[in-house]
Structure 1
Amino acid sequence: MQSLVIVAHGSHLNPDSSAPTHDHADTIREVGAFEEVRTGFWKEEPHLREVLRTVEGEEVYVVPLFISEGYFTEQVIPRELRLSGWDVDRWGSDGLSADQATLAAADTGQTVHYCGPVGTHEAMTDVLVRRAETVTGDPDVGEGFALAVVGHGTERNENSAKAIEYHADRIRDLDCFEEVQALYMDEEPEVDDVTDHFETEDVVVVPLFIADGFHTQEDIPEDMGLTDDYRTGYSVPAEVDGHRIWYAGAVGTEPLLADVVLERAADAGADVGDSLSAVRETTRVATGDD
């Protein structure tokens, strides 16, 4: 019996923080890829420390719903799951290439295939493009549009920017958007100056965040000049300095992210059958794109 556990940060303060995790778990559960699908959180219940005890299967695939490799994926999650023999070198990663490590859970004895975060998987590139399609309502979005991929950026974790640059480069190589730029909240080039970085009139802005929260709902819209007060809302698209800004909100809320979770598990050896194609079809219908 193979089981899937999707682990995420969660929040005591923002009840919407865990919504994408539950939504993607429901999508995967509905296509029958695993005999059981569970969720676990750092800041909500069920807690990471207890989640494996809710799983009946002896073989468990754990996929972190995080953007980058760092403190949570390398230290917190393995510690809370009590993965025997864990060492970050088991991933052999350069900050982008974490794949999977097979370990034993010390207190339950289960075999755990611990996967890299969804944010660094190549399939996340497709989710970013789909997010642009969703916000513009155009399944062929690209020509006449620029794309900004926005990350937090931090000197404390250099891997934070690596994921942003990685996907911006991959989308640029697709040659479908007029311009593609990686922007950040806390380092240069900053999202505050979004219109300074593009000549194209229409700019789609997609934050590479898992859930909508303080940064994506308040900081970024105000920083870009979409509104003076996030509580009054803003238009999509919004006119800013001669540009139309199509603000998409957190990429992690895009239904297609369920596909990346499955891709991570499949890369670790899970038998997902035809569930990948089923999820892609299900999520395309969910976004109204026939």
Structure 2
Amino acid sequence: AQTTLIITGHGTGLNQNSTKAIRDQAELIAKSGAGYAAVLDAFMEEQPFIAEWAKMSQTPNVIVVPFFISDGLHSYQDIPVLLGIEAEVGAAASQREVFRHNPHHLRGKTLYYSSAIGTERLLADVILDQIEDFDRDHKAY
């Protein structure tokens, strides 16, 4: 496998659970046999830092997926700057489709930057599955 998958999110020292969902998903994908050389987690404000993506990955190809419910300030502006895709945070970054300019050749690697997971159209299926599980467990109606 020639590709590392990095799932990234905010992270904060204010709540130790701020990284749990991302770490859990990275672990599940790593165990799934999806074929990645490595599946890592990284954060904007907590170690491991997403700005260190090139040092973290040992493969020539890297995919970074923001773990947010929608694309916004972090996925359009902050993370592209931390990755090195954009030189600085500015209005231009949020007004362009930063996700459509793949791949990016940075730091001796080929970087693919995805839109946030919440933009996936099949997320509705996940919501319905959770409701079904809740209804089954709690006899909601």
TM-score bucket of the superposed structures, by smaller chain: 0.7 to 0.9
Q: Which has the higher helix share?
A: 2
In the alignment, the residues of structure 2 paired with residue 178 and residue 223 of structure 1 have an alpha-carbon distance, to the nearest angstrom, of 23
SS of structure 1 residue aligned to 2:75: helix
Aligned to 2:24: 166
Residue in 2 that maps onto 1:20: none
**Residues 213-228 of structure 1: matches in 2 within 5 Å?**
213-228=72-87
Q: Which residue identity does 1:179 align to in structure 2?
A: A
- Quote the RMSD (CA, aligned, Å): 1.5
Query: Aligned-pair distance for 1:157?
Result: 2.0
Which residue is equivalent to 1:151?
Answer: 9
1:186 lines up with 2:52 in the alignment:
no
Q: Which runs of 5+ in 2 are unaligned?
A: 137-141
**Is the 8 Å Cα contact of residues 164 and 208 (structure 1) preserved in structure 2?**
yes
* C-alpha displacement of 1:155: 1.8
Aligned residues: 128
RCO (CA 8 Å, sep 6+): is it higher in 1 or 2? 2
**TM-score of the superposed pair, with normalisation by structure 1:** 0.42
Any idea what the Cα deviations from partners look like across 1:159-216, whole Å, max 9, x if unmatched?
2111011000011111321111100000111001111100111111001100111111
Name the % identity.
35
Write out aligned runs for 1:32-47 (5 A). none
Letter in 1 for 2:84: G
Q: TM-score, normalised by structure 2?
A: 0.84
> What per-residue deviation string (whole Å, max 9, x for no partner) do you get for residues 199-247 of structure 1?
1111110011001111110000011101214626553110110111110
Structure 1 or 2, whichever has the larger Rg, is 1
Tell me which residue corresponds to 2:68.
209
Q: Take 1:160 and 1:173, find their aligned partners in 2: how far apart are those partners?
A: 22
Runs of 4+ in 1 over 3 A off after TM superposition: none
Aligned residues of 1:226 and 1:239 also touching (Cα < 8 A): no
Q: What secondary structure is seen at the aligned counterpart in 2 of 1:269?
A: helix
Task: Tell me what 1:249 maps to.
Answer: 115
Separation (CA, whole Å) in 2 of partners of 1:189 and 1:247: 18
